[in-house]
Amino acid sequence: MEEDQELERKISGLKTSMAEGERKTALEMVQAAGTDRHCVTFVLHEEDHTLGNSLRYMIMKNPEVEFCGYTTTHPSESKINLRIQTRGALPAVEPFQRGLNELMNVCQHVLDKFEASIKEYKDQKASRNESTF
Amino acid sequence: MAAARAVQEMRTRVVLGEFGVRNVHTTDFPGNYSGYDDAWDQDRFEKNFRVDVVHLDENSLEFDMVGIDAAIANAFRRILLAEVPTMAVEKVLVYNNTSIVQDEILAHRLGLIPIHADPRLFEYRNQGDEEGTEIDTLQFRLQVRCTRNPHAAKDSSDPNELYVNHKVYTRHMTWVPLGNQADLFPEGTIRPVHDDILIAQLRPGQEIDLLMHCVKGIGKDHAKFSPVATASYRLLPDITLLEPVEGEAAEELSRCFSPGVIEVQEVQGKKVARVANPRLDTFSREVFRNEKLKKLVRLARSLSSQQGCCHQTC
């Protein structure tokens, strides 16, 4: 992923502020010079396989994405490089944002279904306990 | 049609062969298979997805998730282990420790004691804040002194009879409410989860007198903050008999799997094997050691069906 000769590092996207006057980057975009915005490497700080693998899966499910992969740079550093290459001229930020939103929707749906299932199980158990009396 | 079945198997099953495992990776991405629309469709996902709770009690939870990929199930497992917050002892102020257990060992053990407190009702402590306020700290006191039992028999050698308070348990920990905590939390709700965890052992003349501060944290920081003893998931087993198995072979087959997986029934005088409950199998792959039987069975795991299991402390 880092075979590009000249790197143009742009710090964009979210910045989380930890305390007064101290700002920590959460996201960086790295783009090789000479390419347009359709192949980009995103560097996500303070992230690991938890977000990396699930986000990679969601982005790969997008038919506009030609390539998506992620890697942890080194086990001592907690950051991941996520590379997205899109078909045609679609800017890579778009499937990235879409993947994040879709992942949020999936998790929300799983949470709703899980809570409903737990409640149903508890109700069933309660009614079964009552019926044995 | 055999090709269609093979493709279907490639997409949905991890097959355990005699010498290796096939189709491990998820391949149903758009463009991989012609004729299949694999693009992400939230509605299709919602329609196919379901959660079935298999077992739920105070200490463990087992449930099935059907229609979700392993990548996301694994993310849930990782989050359960490392990013769900709990309260645990962080700072131990030792006033007096004349026991055999060193201060730091004792502090380490106290940190690992699970605390029964809902972390959602507390906030994280600000960095650099040494004192701690009522919104981010719980205080416990542990004060135990061991003395000789004056009423013990002369020649007894049982420590339970000879000494008083020689074993320090978590039930000796008392909660010291800060600020308005006494109003917010009724008596008995803030305590260690188990009251019979042995912390240290004492002999007459030894005393432990300390104050503990509990804060909110996550497993990534220190494993003591992890809410689960463990969380795991596996792909649900899928065992198919490629040919009918009858007679003595049926009995042999049922012995190759965990008990309850293969059921031998009497059908028209003959013994016939049937896959009764593939869930119970732990895939020892004993069947591959039997020359006759290994051709008759397909061992697989379902790629879209996960069984999640978490064992908790509370």
B100-145 pLDDT tens trace: 999 999 999 999 999 999 999 999 998 888 888 889 999 999 999 9
Within a domain: B44: yes
User: Does the residue B26 lie in any domain?
Assistant: yes
Least confident of A34-38, A46-50, A66-70: A34-38
Task: Tell whether A113 is within 8 A of chain B (Cβ).
Answer: yes
Judge if B31 and B100 occupy the same domain.
no
Look at phi and psi of residue B124 and say left if phi exceeds 0, alpha if psi is from -120 to 50, else beta.
beta
Domains of chain A: 22-115 (3.30.1360.10)
Among B226, B251, B268, the domain boundary falls at B226
C-alpha span between B146 and B195 (Å, rounded): 19
The Cα–Cα gap between A26 and A15 comes to: 6
**Together in a domain, B209 and B114:** yes
Phi and psi at B89, nearest 5°, equal: -70, 125
Please tell me whether residue A24 adopts helix, strand or coil conformation: strand
Percentage, residues of chain B above pLDDT 70 = 99
pLDDT value for A131: 67
Convert the pLDDT of each residue in B194-221 to its tens digit.
999 999 999 999 999 999 999 999 999 9
Domain boundary among B175, B209, B226: B226
Asked whether residue B217 falls in the same domain as residue B280, the answer is no
Q: What is the CATH number of the domain that holds B91?
A: 2.170.120.12
Q: What is the mean pLDDT of residues B7-20?
A: 89
Spatial separation of the C-alpha atoms in residues B112 and B223, rounded to whole Å: 8
> Residue A46: which H helix or E strand, with range?
none
Average pLDDT over residues B240-251: 90
For chain B, the domain total comes to 2
Interface test with B, best of A60, A114, A119 (most B CBs within 10 A): A60
pLDDT of residue A25: 76
* Burial track B124-146 (b if 16+ CB lie within 10 A, e otherwise): ebeeeeeebeebbbbbbebebeb
Say how far apart CA A41 and CA A93 lie, in whole Å.
10
B72 in a structural domain: yes
Binning pLDDT at 50, 70 and 90, where does residue B4 land? Answer: confident
- Based on the fold, state whether residues B62 and B43 are members of the same structural domain: yes
User: From residue A63, how far is each of A105, B36, B37, B43, B146 by CA, in Å?
Assistant: 18, 12, 9, 17, 71
B44 and chain A: CB distance < 8 Å anywhere?
Answer: no
Task: List the CATH number of the domain containing B42.
Answer: 3.30.1360.10
- The pLDDT of residue A23 is 57
Interchain CB distance below 8 Å, A51 and B51:
no
A79-101 pLDDT tens trace: 999 999 998 889 989 999 999 99
* Chain A neighbors of B29, CB-CB under 8 A: 60-61
User: Both B90 and B217 in a single domain?
Assistant: yes
Tell me whether residues B75 and A110 touch, CB distance under 8 A: no
| Cβ within 8 Å of residue B137, ≥6 positions away | B125, B178, B213, B214, B215
Q: Are residues B93 and B207 in the same domain?
A: yes
Of the given ranges (B36-40, B48-52, B92-96, B191-195), which has the lowest mean pLDDT? B36-40
Inter-chain CB proximity B74 and A54 less than 8 Å:
yes
Give pLDDT, residue B313.
Answer: 55
Q: Which residue of B has its CA nearest to A121?
A: B53
B313, part of any domain: no
Residue with tokens 């965890």: B197
Question: What is the chain A residue with the closest CA to B75?
Answer: A50
Once rounded to an integer, what is the mean pLDDT over residues B287-295?
90
Say which residues have a Cβ less than 8 Å from residue A133's Cβ, sequence separation at least 6.
none
On whether ipTM exceeds 0.90, the answer is no
pLDDT band (50, 70, 90) for residue A8: very low
Q: Looking at the structure, tell me whether residues B201 and B248 fall in a common domain.
A: no
For residue A84, list its beta bridge partners. A40, A68
- Assess A14–B contact: CB distance below 8 Å, yes or no: no
Supply φ then ψ for residue B49, to 5 degrees. -80, 135
Q: Which domain holds residue B194?
A: 85-226
Interface probe, candidates A17, A49, A53, A115, chain B, greatest B C-beta count within 10 A: A53
Cβ distance of A61 and B38 shorter than 8 Å: yes
Domain boundary among B192, B226, B260: B226
Considering only CB atoms, B30 lies closest to which of A48, A61, A122, namely: A61
Q: Are residues B209 and B131 in the same domain?
A: yes
Same domain, B222 and B90: yes
In a domain, B314, yes or no: no
Query: Are B132 and B220 members of one domain?
Result: yes
Measured between beta carbons, the chain A residues lying within 8 angstroms of B40 are 58, 61-62, 102
In a shared domain, residues B112 and B171: yes
- Put simply, the answer to whether B39 touches A54 (Cβ < 8 Å) is no
CB contact under 8 A, B76 and A62: no
Q: Which residue of B has its CA nearest to A18?
A: B127
- On average, the pLDDT of chain A sits at 81
**What's the mean pLDDT in B238-256?**
90
Q: Closest partner residue to B51 among A19, A61, A114, by Cβ?
A: A114
Closest-CA residue of chain A to B31: A63
Question: Mutate which of B46, B58, B72 to disrupt the A interface (most A C-beta within 10 Å)?
Answer: B72
Q: Is residue B156 a part of any domain in this protein? A: yes
Whether B51 sits inside 8 A of A62 (CB atoms) is no
A-proximal residues of B, 182-211, CB under 8 Å? none
Are residues B184 and B248 both part of a single domain?
no
